[in-house]
Amino acid sequence: MIIRQMRESDSQGVALIEKENFSQPWSANAFCESIKNNSTVFLVAEEVGEILGYIGMYISLDEGEITNVSVSLKHRRKHVATKLIEELKRIALERKVSRIILEVRVTNASAIKTYKKQGFKILGTRKNFYEKPVEDAYIMDVQI
């Protein structure tokens, strides 16, 4: 498995994973537009030409906000998200980011466990943050 920068040619595969995992998925075009922005980092995990998962982060000054993390259903439990987060943190340090923040559904125990293993801590809760279904989000962050 390799972790690399997302390219426009990845957008269709990434959008399929997004649709597979989220009730309000980003479109392929949204990914294409996001990766053109110099204040973003979007990575994919790839193996033998297949995209296994991806992660995205917007950077503002010394803070990064993870926008998306998703792994294809058939590649879960293979540490894909962990490897994506580790590489994102490495790049964040290079870009002088000192803190990364994210939101996660309070019922997404698997993701919360992965984030905690990467040093993220729960800061608070955003009530009714998500739609389809309506659900609260934990706000989590890590100092790097």
Domain boundaries, the chain: 2-143
Cα–Cα distance measured from residue 81 to residue 60, given in angstroms and rounded to the nearest whole number: 23
Residues that are catalytic: 103, 115
Predicted confidence at residue 22, as pLDDT, reads 86
Q: Would you place residue 132 in the very low, low, confident or very high pLDDT band (cuts 50, 70, 90)?
A: confident
Alpha carbon dihedral 58, 13, 111, 98, in 10-degree steps, equals: -20
Predicted confidence at residue 23, as pLDDT, reads 82
Predicted confidence at residue 122, as pLDDT, reads 98
- Residues 123, 139 contacting (CB under 8 angstroms): yes
pLDDT at 21 over 90: no
Angle between helix 80-94 and 109-117 (nearest 10): 50
Total Cβ atoms within 10 A of residue 11? 23
Predicted confidence at residue 51, as pLDDT, reads 96
Instruction: Work out the average pLDDT over 79-89.
Output: 97
pLDDT at 117 over 90: yes
Instruction: Work out the average pLDDT over 91-117.
Output: 97
Q: What percent of the chain has pLDDT over 90?
A: 90
- Residues 100, 57 contacting (CB under 8 angstroms): yes
Instruction: Work out the average pLDDT over 116-121.
Output: 98
Predicted confidence at residue 94, as pLDDT, reads 96
Q: What percent of the chain has pLDDT over 70?
A: 100
What's the topology of domain 2-143?
A: Aminopeptidase (3.40.630)
- Order of strands across the sheet with 99-105? 2-5, 40-47, 50-60, 63-71, 99-105, 135-143, 121-130
Q: Would you place residue 77 in the very low, low, confident or very high pLDDT band (cuts 50, 70, 90)?
A: confident
Return phi, psi of residue 131, to 5°: -120, 165
105-115: b or e for each residue (b if 16 or more CB lie within 10 Å)? ebeeeebbebb
